[in-house]
Chain A
């Protein structure tokens, strides 16, 4: 074996073994330093513009950040997010199970649902629900073509908040159905097979065996959907539901301080999405830790 140049010299030093057992030095990386300087300069410039440009109106932002109307809107936004996600998840579960049914009709209905709600813009769906009162002035239970047994005025039973929930939830259901289906299909077929062999029905098998194991696969994307939903709820402004963005708009419609109020709304949105991201990261960590634990013990 031939050892060349410096290596040979270095390794033949008498104190080499002692030297090699000391902590290794970190090599300087000039490229990183340059990048840091450039990014730092841009950040400073950005901050300077944001702080000094009076158009951002920081005093106005501070004044409205905790305004009652903003806080009420925030509450509505949170309510819309939670209820629409629950509705979306329930619909998603039902549609996903229908989609995997042996019954062709159920499969067809589920396919059509997903096709329709994913195929049209959410904004259009939202407007539809807002104008449902125009399309169907009254809704009720009756014999088709015959007399109505019970009847309600649509404007009474379908307040704008409910229309907003329907718009968001029905649409979410279509996306959730695909997430749930991926989760159900991610459970090995042998699990259902063993359950069927024991005498469990298809529904019992889903409930006791497949869904509990699919949840691991389903939960992380549901976290993403929730974060996305929090921002998507702002679409309810087109039908006049008083959420965070709508109430901010109402305020700047009077005082014409558009930019500061949009900043107020954005600050709240980003705070909530940050919180949700933290929750999601925790949930995911818990799962990966569970897996590590299992592997280690195995």
Chain B
């Protein structure tokens, strides 16, 4: 499992700064929840971790190594795309809108990474994929296409797909926000099991119950900065900052 360190991370979109110096560490094996109002930069921060977004300055270390950049003299230089792809393959990402590959069955979605990227033999990849789908409670749905699955089922397939690459770190961007309320639980249950297995996880979420129960650390973001971070019970029950109090009074 990998520790994640954000070191003075800045990010602007054509001049508009949306991350204003993020310093934060997630220990290996820990679950960190990012909370905060819409537009505060949570998704952007998460996407910087696997270099789906570039950073403007500062850097992020995963397992002690930068992603997307390397040291060149006394500056940073963008890394080779091949290296970036390799690092990405060990970081699982789960999206709000699932993003399962629509032309593939659940099984094919979960097999694809191992077969095409890791060159695992098909039979072995299929066996492992079936095992993963069983683990997320979808042993009966392996042959279904995404359009034939409910949102909760799709998201569980997406988690299985991310796990198929044997990641050291899992990133979740509002994984339950697109789900009908009665389907939220089944996805959170899978995530809780993952946390119990010791997976390092960074989770952007509005599920305060989940944060309180599972997170080792909660960070509240607003306006591109981490306003406060710490023990989830402390942050959620006794927020010290006004902005955190205002936000929590709305979502709780």
Contact = CB atoms under 8 A, between A and B. Distances in A.
| A, B co-complexed | yes
Given A193-B52, A294-B147, A294-B148, A198 B99 contact: no
B171 to A, nearest CB: 8
Interface stretch (A131-139, A156-164, A204-212): A204-212
A199 B95 contact: no
B101 A198 contact: no
A212 B104 CA distance: 10
B88 A294 contact: no
Interface string B115-150: 011000000000000000000000000001101111
Given A193-B52, A294-B145, A199 B93 contact: no
Contacts of A297: 144, 147-148
Contact of A204 (B97, B116, B150, B165): B116
A278 interface: no
Nearest to B147: A294
Interface string A189-211: 01101111111111010001100
Contacts of A195: 101
A276 B149 CA distance: 36
A195 B104 CA distance: 13
Contacts of B87: 199
Interface string B144-169: 11011110000000100110010000
A213 B145 contact: no
Contact of B113 (A199, A213, A298): A199
Interface of B: 50, 52, 81-82, 85-91, 93, 95, 97, 99-103, 112-113, 116-117, 144-145, 147-150, 158, 161-162, 165
Given A194-B99, A194-B100, A213-B101, 15 more contacts: A191-B99, A193-B52, A194-B158, A196-B52, A196-B88, A197-B52, A198-B93, A198-B113, A198-B162, A199-B86, A199-B89, A208-B112, A212-B103, A297-B144, A298-B147
Interface of A: 188, 190-191, 193-202, 204, 208-209, 212-213, 294-295, 297-298
